[in-house]
């Protein structure tokens, strides 16, 4: 008898989604921006550190907005 519900091939691998890629990029930007900002401030280069602080701040705001937006859409 033919088993029509038997899976003969493994299920296809799920690709990495846009949400996952953006999360990794935003977390990396947050950590790298904060570390570079702190390091450059400690060395005494505040003008060079300012853009990295702005990047860290923008990534933090984007992560918070995404978290709030996703919490509302789950309800």
Q: Alpha carbon 9 to chain centroid distance? A: 33
pTM over 0.85: no
Task: Answer yes or no: are the C-beta atoms of 55 and 33 closer than 8 Å.
Answer: yes
Count other C-beta atoms under 10 Å from residue 37's C-beta: 21
* Tens-binned pLDDT, residue by residue, of the chain (75 aa): 566 666 677 767 777 787 889 999 999 999 999 999 999 999 999 999 999 999 999 999 999 999 998 887 766
């Amino acid at each position: 008898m033919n088993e029509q519900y038997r899976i003969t091939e493994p299920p296809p691998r799920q690709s990495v989604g846009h949400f996952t890629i953006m999360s990794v990029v935003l977390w990396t930007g947050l950590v790298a921006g904060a570390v570079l900002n702190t390091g450059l401030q400690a060395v005494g280069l505040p003008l060079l550190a300012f853009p990295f602080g702005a990047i860290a701040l923008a990534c933090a705001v984007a992560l918070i907005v995404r978290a709030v937006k996703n919490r509302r859409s789950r309800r």
